[in-house]
Amino acid sequence: RHQISPYRLDYILDVKKLDVCENISEYRDKLERSKAHMWGVLCRNKEHETQHIEFTVHAEDNEGFIYKRLMREKRCGEIEIIDKNTFRFYADVYDINEMIPWIRTFICRIVKMKFSNRSIENQFKKDLEAMYWMYDVKEEVSE
């Protein structure tokens, strides 16, 4: 298809040797440029089609591991230190949905979030509210 597409190795049943790809360096260059916006496996063909995400995390004084974890796991994102216990993660990615499982691990520490894809942000908040309801937590999701 003349594009970069991810395939799960455990789904590949058969491999057939074809001709040598004469323009492999073009595909490698394209992949390297795409990595700047890839969180998971999704690689868009149009590099300018990204979604912006940012969220602010507050850690307690004894939770220095939160900052270390953000730095270790940020992939293509950036971390801004707001104060000694507050950090802002931001990135421009191809698909925010790929990040949701990771973002969930910061629940109870997220003090602010903003997704350019409002439908994903609204679904995330709706899921949080459902969780609060299930566990009988009497708080509302902020920002």
* DSSP structure class, residue 40: S
Q: What is the rounded CA–CA span in Å between residue 116 and residue 96?
A: 9
pTM value surpassing 0.85: no
Rounded distance, CA 37 to CA 34, Å? 6
pLDDT tens for each residue of 3-62 = 777 888 999 999 999 999 898 898 889 888 888 899 988 776 566 689 999 999 999 999
Name beta bridge partners: 53.
Answer: 91, 115
Q: Give the model confidence (pLDDT) of 28-41 as tens digits.
A: 898 888 888 999 88
